[in-house]
Each structure stands twice: as structure tokens, then as C-alpha cells.
Amino acid sequence: MYTQGLDQAGKGGPDTREAESRAQLDAFQARIDAEEKIEAKDWMPEAYRRTLIRQISQHAHSEIIGMQPEGNWLTRAPTMKRKAILLAKVQDEAGHGLYLYSAAETLGVSRDEMVGDLLSGKAKYSSIFNYPTLTWADIGAIGWLVDGAAIMNQIPLCRCSYGPYSRAMIRVCKEESFHQRQGYELMLTLCRGTDEQKAMAQDALNRFWWPALMMFGPNDAASSHSAQSMAWKIKRFSNDELRQKFIDVTVPQAEFLGLSVPDAALWFNENTEHYEHSDIDWQEFFDVISGNGPCNRQRLAKRRKAHDDGAWVREAARAYADKKAAAEAAA
Amino acid sequence: MTRQEWPLYEVFIRTRSGLSHRHAGSVHAADDEMALNNARDTYTRRSEGVSIWVVRSDRIVASDPAETSAFFDPAEDKIYRHPTFYDIPDEVENL
């Protein structure tokens, strides 16, 4: 998910075009066109490096912030089984964040720098995690819709031209399927329950449907640096293509649950064999991205507090390691 | 204010005995023992490993990608190292 095109690549960086010769750029593009993977220490255009750092770190931040909406229900899960599942899922999100930070670090950016950018609000993360989880059904809707949208986006990223990112995505995708299936099963259980439970599931779908569609980022016409990312084979499909694919597979899943997708204009076009849908409220998307979603401030404040509260642990561990190393050197 | 981030370690995992260790990614840790624990928690949550190696990233000595062709050049003109270099009549079997 998370490749929403949240800010421009290359802003503020030094102009390195002169240092990069035409021959170097052509040779690089030829490697990409031949489907060769680019590895960490290989020569790459500065803009390619910056685009990847931006995209991978935003992706990592999204995983880390993404723990919060679900963590909100950890202590209130209805059964031990659901609690254990949710705990495993939230741990996976932390793991995904770590795989991705580690992939981004191969490009020469430090972990501290990335975390600093998240905490200062300079770096962006996926808009979806700025929505609240008001009921238990939201946990199901997130697994089913949010992780479902993430999978759509992430599967092509497994073939991304940058080796470390592609390998991290393969690892992530292997785990995402569990996330989506547990979410759908949770929704199914609610939909087969009491009227109230089913209404709760419908309400969660109502609130998460549009934000899930926004996860794919702006319409192609408005997506500023898609073309370059496509040429570099960082991106393989456009935002609108992926969004359409997601809608096409998800609507029948909603029907199976007996729930209705909150889009009165939704219809299946027999000629194209795709669903047609209403326009997305892009104003809402840009509001959330620019910091004014329902939970933006709360998410960042929580992340900052967790980081600050953990500072003494990081320092103590370091001091202990230094002390031990000194003792070993003296022995 | 934290001083400096924990050192970076590269993680290698043997997925089952009989296979060699393979690079999985990296973790930060204050010391070796923590690196092993963090590697386990990060890369083997679903029993993906039976053995883990961690090594400080700054201790790895690597060939330079910019010098790849020169570095591997000595092997390039020695095609007689490959079995297909040798013409053996079809009648000769088991060779």
C-alpha cells in the first residue's frame, strides 16, 4: 500500500544531474529494461535513490503507525483466540516496518534519520491509518479491506527493480495473506451473528470503503511522478489500474457477506467486465494527507511518546554493551 | 536525546538443516546477543529458521560493484574450465 505519491521526489536535494553522465544514465536504464535487479552498492541515479528512500521509508512508517488503530482493540478482543490473532498481526506490522527500514538503509539513509523524519512530521505515511477504529468490526474491515488493498499494491512491488526492496516485499506478501483472511473471517463471523453484529459489520464497511480506495493514491492524471517510477520499474501498474482490480475482487466478497458497498452508483459494466464507481472525494484524501484527518495528531503524539518513553532503554542497552566491551578488552 | 543509533547487523538464516545460511536482512542491536534475539523476532516469527548468524555490517568485506568486470575478469577467458569445452564423440557413453 502506501505508495500514494504523497510528496514530490527530488525536492530539496542537490542538483546532481551534471555529475551523472548521459552514458551512465543510459547504462542504468538498459539494466532496468533488461529486468536486471539493482543492488545496494550499484551505481544509480541520485533521483532513483531519493525516490526509493522516500517510498520505502513512507512504507515503513505506515507499517509502524498502522499498529495503532489495531492495537486499540488488543485489550478488548472478544475472545482469547481473537486476541492472540490480533497480537500476532500487530507484531507482523512491526516486523514489516523493520524489514522495510532495513531495505531503505541499504540506500545510505540511517534509521535515526528516518525515524526523526516521521516524528517531526516531515515524512508521510499512508492516509488510511488516520481513521479511528470505533468498533470491533473495524478490525475485521481493516484486515479485509486495508490489507486487501495493501496486497494489491504490494504484489507488483515484489518485482520492483531494487533488489532489497523487492526481497522485503516478498517477505511481507507471504505474511499479508494471513492478515486479509483473518479479517474476512472476522467479518463473516459477525455477518452470521445477530442483527446487531451484522449492522456493526456494515457500519465498518461503510466507514472503511472509501478510505481503502484512497490508499491507491490520486487518479493517474493527478499522480505526479508515476511515469518515472514506471520507467524505473519501481512501479508496475498505475494507481487507477490497481484500484480497479481491488474493486473488482472486493465487491463480490462484500456480496458474499451480505453487506452492501456504500456506493449507490456502483454497477457492473458487462462490456468491460469491470465495476464502475462514483468519484472519490479527493478533498478528504488531501485533507488527511496534509495532517487534518480524524486521528493524525493522535497517531503522531502516541508515536512520539512511545519513542521518548523508550529512550532510556536504548541508552541503557548501549551503556551495558559499552561496559561489557570494555571489560572484555581489559581481560 | 539518544546518543547514537545501535549498530547494524546483517542477518543470515538457515531455513532447515542441509541448506546453507542465506541473507535475510538486517537489524539494529546494542550487542551480539541482542542482535540474535532481534533477528529471531524479526525474521523467524513463523519458524523460518533453525539457525541464525548475525554479523556487524561494518565487519563485512565486500567486492566493489563498480569494479565488477575487472574483479571477475580472470575467470572470463578460461572457458576450458567448463565441461562443454571438450568435444567427445557421441559413441562414447557415460562421460
Q: What is the 3-state secondary structure (H, E, C) of A91-131?
A: HHHHHHHHHHHHHHHCCCCCHHHHHHHHHHCCCCCCHHHHC
Contact A111 B5 (CB under 8 A): yes
pLDDT band for position A323 (50/70/90)? very high
Give A-chain residues touching B5 at CB under 8 angstroms.
110-112
Strand partners, B12: B23, B53
Reply yes or no on whether the pLDDT at A260 is more than 50: yes
The proportion of chain B whose per-residue pLDDT surpasses 90, expressed as a percent, equals 76
Closest Cα of chain A to B55: distance in Å?
15
Q: A111 at the B interface (CB within 8 A)? A: yes
Reply yes or no on whether the pLDDT at B9 is more than 60: yes
Best of A99, A166, A169, A304 to disrupt the B interface by mutation (most B CBs within 10 Å)? Answer: A99
For A128-179, the DSSP string reads GGGS---STHHHHHIIIIIHHHHHHHHHHHTT-SBHHHHHHHHHHHHHHHHH
Which tens digit of pLDDT belongs to each residue from A207-254?
A: 999 999 999 999 988 877 688 999 999 999 999 999 999 999 999 999
Give B-chain residues touching A102 at CB under 8 angstroms.
25-27
Strand partners, B9: B27, B56
Q: A318 at the B interface (CB within 8 A)? A: yes
Report the DSSP pairing between strands B51-56 and B8-14: antiparallel
Q: A323 at the B interface (CB within 8 A)? A: no
pLDDT band for position B76 (50/70/90)? confident
What distance in Å separates the CA atoms of residue A171 and residue B44, rounded to the nearest whole number? 11
- Is there a contact between B39 and B11 (Cβ–Cβ < 8 Å)? yes
Cell numbers describing residue A217 = 493514491
The mean pLDDT value for A115-139 works out to: 97
Which tens digit of pLDDT belongs to each residue from A39-79?
A: 999 999 999 999 999 999 999 999 999 999 999 999 999 99
Reply yes or no on whether the pLDDT at B2 is more than 70: no
| Residue contacts between A and B (CB atoms, under 8 Å) | 58
pLDDT band for position A17 (50/70/90)? low
- List % helix, strand, coil for chain B (3-state, nearest 5): 35, 20, 45
What distance in Å separates the CA atoms of residue A205 and residue A250, rounded to the nearest whole number? 11
Q: Given the cut 0.90, state whether the ipTM is greater than it.
A: no
pLDDT band for position A12 (50/70/90)? very low
Query: Which chain A residue shows the shortest CA-CA distance from B5?
Result: A112
Query: pTM value?
Result: 0.91
- Is there a contact between A138 and A190 (Cβ–Cβ < 8 Å)? no
Closest Cα of chain B to A294: distance in Å?
30
Q: Crossing angle, helix A296-309 and helix A311-330, to 10 degrees? A: 30
Which tens digit of pLDDT belongs to each residue from B30-73?
A: 999 999 999 999 999 999 999 999 999 999 999 998 898 899 98
Under 8 Å CB-to-CB from A38, ≥6 apart: which residues? A28, A31, A32, A44, A48, A161, A162, A163
Closest Cα of chain B to A59: distance in Å?
16
Contact B42 A168 (CB under 8 A): no
Q: A308 at the B interface (CB within 8 A)? A: no
- Tracing cell 539494466 back to the chain, one arrives at A31
Give A-chain residues touching B1 at CB under 8 angstroms.
311
Which tens digit of pLDDT belongs to each residue from A187-202?
A: 999 999 999 999 999 9
The pLDDT of residue A8 is 43
